Structure 1
Amino acid sequence: MRPVRVRQAVLASVAAHAVGAAPNECCGLLLGRADEIDESWPARSLQESPNRFLVRPRDHFDALRVARATGRTVRGAYHSHPRGPAHPSRTDAAELGDAGLLQMIVSLRDGTPRVQLFEWTSGKFAAVPLVPVP
């Protein structure tokens, strides 16, 4: 699995969103080019819950519009696990398995945000090396 460069500002923004949404899950989209994520796009969830989320369609469309207008793509999505690990759950595997899209998961279980990146491949999530960049 090729490493993905993620701007430190993206990691900080996603972690802050997760902390601010707790005890519920947060969600959003990840914008960038090729093997780099350079912007997080916070989304509102239509389902406020500590173990579920549903990205508001308007937020998704807005992110797509901005990405296209700036020569980027939506590389994937992020969400938090307020009480669970930074690893895809069974629900994530059932609902988020979309080939080619990255999934960033933020765990708040130990009180400190922990971020991991995954990609759906061969019918399961595989960890993707995340390289923080300025």
Structure 2
Amino acid sequence: MIELTRAAYDDIVYRAYKGGEAEICGVLAGEHGTDGDNSVVTETYAAENVAETPEIRYLIDPEEQFELIETVEEAGLDVVGFYHSHPTGPTHPSETDAARATWPNHSYVICALDGYPFVGSWRWRDNEEAFEQETVSVRSER
């Protein structure tokens, strides 16, 4: 399961809308569960999508990704996973998403904008070389 604070969830959805026809992307930070199954996202770190075809792909520049990961760690947080949008597609990972997944037991959150915005999440299981859908919950903030 992945739990997002309301602010983190809203940031992903709003950024996806602002991205228009291009996929947006970034890093998810918070507490990565010790069991590899339950995580809490408290912060999102936006990255520039440098893919050649940002309408159908996302790519975080490796140098920017390294800098974002350092920023997350300096803040005392864990990298929980990554997020991107599918402006015209479903919330499930594409074949390209699966081929590029490299962080075992980390979450890959996808915000689909085809109709009503929906956020789905999948955890990459390296031993199975496949994504496993996980429950997404939004923490109500008081």
Instruction: Provide the TM-score with structure 1 as the length reference.
Output: 0.90
Q: 1:117 aligns with which of 111, 121, 134?
A: 121
Aligned to 2:112: 107
Pairing of 1:1-134 with structure 2 (within 5 A): 3-34=1-32, 35-47=39-51, 48-110=53-115, 112-121=116-125, 122-133=128-139, 134=141
- SS of 1:53's partner is coil
- Equivalents in 2 of 1:49, 1:68: separation in Å? 28
- Equivalents in 2 of 1:113, 1:26: separation in Å? 14
- Cα shift at 1:58: 3.8
Structure 1 residues not aligned, in runs of 5+: none
The size of the alignment, in residue pairs, is 131
- Cα shift at 1:63: 1.9
**Equivalent residue letter for 1:64:** I
TM-align CA RMSD: 1.4
Q: Percent identity?
A: 27
- SS of 1:19's partner is helix
4+ runs deviating over 3 angstroms = none
Structure 2 residues not aligned, in runs of 5+: 33-38
Instruction: Provide the TM-score with structure 2 as the length reference.
Output: 0.85
Structure 1 residues 94, 25: closer, same or farther in 2, change over 3 A?
same
